[in-house]
Structure 1
């Protein structure tokens, strides 16, 4: 069930490629575990993308999350965000 919800969330983000507010909400979903497991790598990824699209609040939360992440997790989040931006 959770996998289906996450896939639906990913599909929603695809349609939101230019909407920083929706991308910010994706970050909040993963950061808080709303309708999914908490996943700080995914949260950072979505906050990063939202920040790139102009959301100042996302940039702030991205920085806060980054402080608590390992270097490997941070690198993974940055890589995933870059891959998403390349495709969308």
Structure 2
């Protein structure tokens, strides 16, 4: 069991690193992790929507599909917060690149 937890933690750490580079796959994987509670993460639909949204913006059709699915379980206020967080992450990343 300990090896499984260590593997899950390694996966999540590697996906966070990839998400900082904003690869569609890394963002999608984080969306899945937050929507399902994978790797010890809490289920957090706002975080899931944010990461699926970022994946979709990078061209992931799966990200688009999952974003819509998660949005069906969220309030309008939660969706707005997820979108705000995604925009903030994009802006922060663009500032670092400049």
| TM-score relative to the length of structure 1 | 0.83
Give the structure 2 partner of residue 62 of structure 1: 67
The gaps in structure 1 that reach 5 residues or longer are none
- C-alpha RMSD over aligned residues: 1.8
Query: 1:22 and 1:8 mapped to 2: Cα distance?
Result: 10
Shift in alpha-carbon separation, 1:57–1:10, aligned structure 2, 3 A: closer
Runs of 4 or more, structure 1, over 2 Å off, are: 7-11
User: Which ranges of structure 2 fall in alignment gaps of 5 or more residues?
Assistant: 1-8, 94-98
CA radius of gyration, larger in? 2
Q: Provide the aligned length of Structure 1 versus Structure 2.
A: 81
**TM-score w.r.t. length of structure 2:** 0.75
